[in-house]
Homo-oligomer: A and B are copies of this chain.
Amino acid sequence: MSYGTLFLLPCPLGDTPAEQVLPPQVVSVARRLRHFVVEEAKTTRQFLAALKHEQPIQSLHFATLNEHTPASELPALLQPLLAGEDVGIVSEAGCPGVADPGAQLVALAHRHGVRVVPLVGPSSILLALMASGLNGQCFAFHGYLPVEEAARKKSLQQLETESFKRRQTQLFIETPYRNDKLLQALLTLCRPSTQICIAADLTLPTETILTRSVADWRKAELPKLHKRPCLFLLLA
C-alpha cells in the first residue's frame, strides 16, 4: 500500500476572503481532504466551512499540533499518512511550517519517505519582504527579539551591524501589544541612515506598508501599531 501525501495548506491572514489569497487548486485540495493537523481545530473548522468543504465538517478528522504538543505524540499524527490517507497541515494564519509547530511533523514525514507538497498562499514574511523595497537577495527572519531592554538593545545593534556588513535585510516580529514600543526602540537605537519598513495588517483592508530611513521616521507621524499583526524590517 502506498503512503498518503502531506499537504501544507495555507489559510488567510485574518478575515481576508479565500479568493483574494488562495489559488483555486489549493481550495480544491482543502475541500477534498478528510484528515487535518491543526494548531486550533475551531479556526480550521471555520476556514473549511467558509470554503464549502465537500463533507460535513463534523465528519472530518482534526488532530492538534501546537507548541504544547509533546514530541511523543508526533508518530500518532503520522499514522493516517502511513495508512494511505492524505493529510493537510493548517496553521492559525498563513503558511504552515514557517513560524509554527507544523515543521516537526514535516520533518518526521521526510524521515518516513512520505511525500510533502507545499501549496501557495499568503505569508506575511514574504509579502512584507516583497513590498519593503529592501534587499530581497539576502535576508534573514529572526522571529521575536528579546523582551528585556538591555538584551533587546544588544540584539538590535548586532542585527544592524550584520545588515550593514552583508547588505542583509533583517526581519522580526513582536507581540502585537508591544509593537509601538519596538518601533520606538528602533528609532532610538538605529543609525539615521538605516532603512526601516513596517508592514501591518497584510492583505487586510487596513494594510499599511511604509519604508523610511530612521532619520525620516523620526520626523514623521508614526502609524499606530497597537495590537495589529506587524512585521519589522531593517536594512542598514
Binding site for B on A (CB under 8 A): 8, 18-25, 95-100, 103-110, 116-118, 120-123, 125-143, 168, 195, 197, 202-203, 207, 209-212
A108 to B197 CA separation, bound complex (whole angstroms): 13
CB <8 Å contact, B20 and A135: no
CB <8 Å contact, A133 and B106: yes
Copies, count: 2
Can you spell out 8 A-B residue pairs with CB atoms less than 8 angstroms apart? A19-B25, A98-B137, A103-B132, A103-B133, A106-B130, A107-B133, A116-B133, A118-B131
A140 to B135 CA separation, bound complex (whole angstroms): 12
Nearest Cβ in chain B — how far from A108, in angstroms?
8
A197 to B136 CA separation, bound complex (whole angstroms): 21
Query: Which residue on B lies nearest to A108, using beta carbons?
Result: B133
CB <8 Å contact, B211 and A107: yes
CB <8 Å contact, B131 and A100: no
Choose one: B21, B97, B212; the contact of A129 (CB below 8 Å): B97
Q: Closest 8 A-B residue pairs measured CB to CB?
A: A107-B133, A106-B133, A140-B140, A98-B136, A97-B130, A118-B131, A110-B211, A118-B130
With A109-B133, A110-B133 known, 20 other A-B pairs at CB within 8 A are: A21-B23, A23-B23, A96-B130, A97-B129, A97-B130, A97-B136, A99-B136, A103-B133, A103-B136, A106-B133, A108-B133, A110-B210, A110-B212, A116-B131, A118-B126, A118-B131, A120-B122, A120-B203, A126-B126, A139-B141
On chain B, the residues within 8 Å of A141 by CB distance are 137-140
On chain B, the residues within 8 Å of A210 by CB distance are 110
CB <8 Å contact, B106 and A132: yes
On chain B, the residues within 8 Å of A195 by CB distance are 107
On chain B, the residues within 8 Å of A137 by CB distance are 98-99, 141, 143
Choose one: B18, B104, B106; the contact of A131 (CB below 8 Å): B106
